[in-house]
């Protein structure tokens, strides 16, 4: 659905820098009811304060993505608070402590549980609601790291690859109902998640991701890359055989 008609927004990962930037952009375009869902009540309240304008209602919900048995209930409660969900933003994510072949199996399972298993569960619950409504957009924060999984972040990359694949299939399932999924593939974004890390080529900002999401919604896009040229680079690289790609990727590390 076009960003112009959006009135209600649910942000999963209510303290996310990128997620709150998207909320702000949607409020600027006319959204009036926002639900922030997350684990940290103080962080959520601080984010709510940055969104509040005259005539904007901001509600908070307790949400841990690994608590899959509560996902349907969460979506029901958000719907009770704001009515039909015009946009659901899925901005939950954690980086992995990447140790190559020596990675800790417990740490791998934890990252996959957050970025893929838990997130897929809440996406399914949200999609079911959007399908029932017959309208609405599920905005999913994927990553370039999931489009082309590199050896310097294989755990995070693989978890995003699974998430991205699921999001693409969900879009196919939802489209006949009038609802849809917008898959967002940013490169390096300067946020709390990447604080202290050196910029990667084509580094961008949370506000730039938000602007691309709004534009993508206006064009009923299925995928947006941020910045846009990163999509051309990634699609080109993915055509190369792994034997040629491997040294190229190694040079970027």
Ligand X SMILES: NC(=O)c1ccc[n+]([C@@H]2O[C@H](COP(=O)([O-])OP(=O)(O)OC[C@H]3O[C@@H](n4cnc5c(N)ncnc54)[C@H](OP(=O)(O)O)[C@@H]3O)[C@@H](O)[C@H]2O)c1
**183: contact with ligand X by CB under 6 A:** no
One-character DSSP codes across 8-72: EEEEESTT-HHHHHHHHHHHHTT--EEEEEES-HHHHHHHHHHH--TT-EEEEEE--TT-GGGHH
Nearer to ligand X, 27 or 141 (CB): 141
Q: Tell me if residue 156 is catalytic.
A: yes
Rule CB under 6 A: choose which of 191, 210, 213, 214 binds ligand X.
191
**63: contact with ligand X by CB under 6 A:** yes
**88: contact with ligand X by CB under 6 A:** no
**147: contact with ligand X by CB under 6 A:** no
**66: contact with ligand X by CB under 6 A:** yes
Rule CB under 6 A: choose which of 22, 82, 182, 188 binds ligand X.
188
> What gap in Å lies between CA 65 and CA 77, rounded to an integer?
15
> What gap in Å lies between CA 221 and CA 184, rounded to an integer?
10
**Residue 159 CB neighbour total at 10 angstroms:** 27
Nearer to ligand X, 243 or 253 (CB): 253
**46: contact with ligand X by CB under 6 A:** no
Nearer to ligand X, 56 or 193 (CB): 193
**43: contact with ligand X by CB under 6 A:** yes
Which of 63, 156, 188, 225 does the annotation list as catalytic?
A: 156
Smallest distance from ligand X to CB 241, Å: 26
**121: contact with ligand X by CB under 6 A:** no
Active site residues per annotation: 156
Residues at the interface with ligand X (CB under 6 A): 13, 15-19, 38-40, 43, 63-66, 91-94, 114, 141, 143, 186, 188-189, 191-194
């Amino acid at each position: 659905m076009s960003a112009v008609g959006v009135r209600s927004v649910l942000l999963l990962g209510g303290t996310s820098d990128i997620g709150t930037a998207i909320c702000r952009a949607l409020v600027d375009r006319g959204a009036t009811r926002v639900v922030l869902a997350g684990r940290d009540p103080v962080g959520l309240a601080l984010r709510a304060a940055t969104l509040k304008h005259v005539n904007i209602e901001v509600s908070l919900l307790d949400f841990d993505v690994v608590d899959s048995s509560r996902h349907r209930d969460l979506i029901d409660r958000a719907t009770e608070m704001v009515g039909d969900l015009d946009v659901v933003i899925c901005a939950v994510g954690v980086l992995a402590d990447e140790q190559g072949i020596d990675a800790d199996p417990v740490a791998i399972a934890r990252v996959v549980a957050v970025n893929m298993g838990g997130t897929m569960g809440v996406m399914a619950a949200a999609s079911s609601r959007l399908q029932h409504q017959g309208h609405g957009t599920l905005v999913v924060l994927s990553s370039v790291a999931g489009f082309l999984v590199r050896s310097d972040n294989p755990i995070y990359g693989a978890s995003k690859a699974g998430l991205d694949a699921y999001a693409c299939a969900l879009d196919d399932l939802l489209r006949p109902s009038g609802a849809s999924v917008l898959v967002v593939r940013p490169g390096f974004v300067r946020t709390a998640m990447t604080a202290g890390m050196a910029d990667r080529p084509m580094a961008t900002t949370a506000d730039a991701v938000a602007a691309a999401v709004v534009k993508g919604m206006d064009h009923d896009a299925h995928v947006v890359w941020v910045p846009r040229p990163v999509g051309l680079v990634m699609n080109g690289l993915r055509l190369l055989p792994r034997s040629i790609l491997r040294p190229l990727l190694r040079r970027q590390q």
